[in-house]
Amino acid sequence: MVAATDIQARIAAARLLPVVVLERADDAVPLAKALLKGGLTVAEVTFRTPAAAEAIARMRKDVPDMLVGAGTVLTQEQLADAGAAGAQFIVTPGFNPAIVEAAQSAGLPIIPGVNNPTGVEQAMVYGLETVKFFPAEPTGGIPFIKALTGPYPGMRFVPTGGISPANLAFYLTVPAVLACGGSWMVDAKLIRDGNFEEISRLTEDAVALARKG
């Protein structure tokens, strides 16, 4: 089990958290290897598809250098499946206290989504130091995050939703931004087509951009 502070450090070092949707568990290992080749050692596999748990298990088994999180965890059942599959951290789009409590009881670091002061304060009640800021662009983007850092200087954010090569480096200049979540380098069509070379190339570009932030 990896401690919450270590997870935070790994994500902070990567600066970029790819949000992955896998239709087929068979794509999990090639995808993880493509991300590694491009320079990323962390991934969030979302429970948007039934293949998620099996995909996480395969990545954990065959690509041990990858830190694998479970995303879009909405139910206790998904949380249990994620834990059983070996997910090393949990991400949720919103703040569900029951899921936060269950993850913490299971010793699973969790990064819940918030997009307002109420959410940040809820996260603080649970001792959390990092939240996802979702959906980042529609909710107010960089100015909104900067406004939140006034009353909550200790909170770190992982903006996700609408992050692209055009704005990644800007987000990463904000000190409160730990890393950005994004999906453009793991586009569903590229995965479907088995175009892992392009995924590596886009990842490499994204990592280079992130270094500028």
Backbone angles phi, psi at 185, to 5 degrees: -85, -10
**Nearest distance, CB of residue 132 and ligand ELE, angstroms:** 7
Neighbours of 39 (CB within 10 A): 17
Q: Measured between alpha carbons, how far is 47 from 122 in angstroms, rounded to an integer? A: 24
- 160 binds ligand ELE, rule: CB under 6 A: yes
Q: Measured between alpha carbons, how far is 18 from 197 in angstroms, rounded to an integer? A: 16
137 as an active site residue: the answer is no
Choosing from 23, 37, 44, 54, the catalytic residue is: 44
Of 183 and 203, the one with the shorter C-beta distance to ligand ELE is: 183
- 130 binds ligand ELE, rule: CB under 6 A: no
**Nearest distance, CB of residue 195 and ligand ELE, angstroms:** 18
Which residue in the set 30, 86, 140, 162 belongs to the binding site for ligand ELE (CB under 6 A)? 162
- 159 binds ligand ELE, rule: CB under 6 A: no
- Percent of the chain as helix, strand, coil, to the nearest 5: 50, 15, 35
Backbone angles phi, psi at 135, to 5 degrees: -85, 125
- 115 binds ligand ELE, rule: CB under 6 A: no
Site mask for ligand ELE (CB under 6 A), range 83-112, x = bound: ----------x-------------------
Reduce the secondary structure of 127-177 to three states and give it as a string. CCCEEEECCHHHHCHHHHHHHHHCCCCCCEEEEECCCCCCCHHHHHCCCCE
Choosing from 37, 132, 204, 212, the catalytic residue is: 132
Stretch that binds ligand ELE, among 60-68, 104-112, 116-124, 157-165 (CB under 6 A): 157-165
77 as an active site residue: the answer is no
Residues that bind ligand ELE (CB under 6 A): 19, 46, 71-72, 93, 134-135, 160-163, 181-183
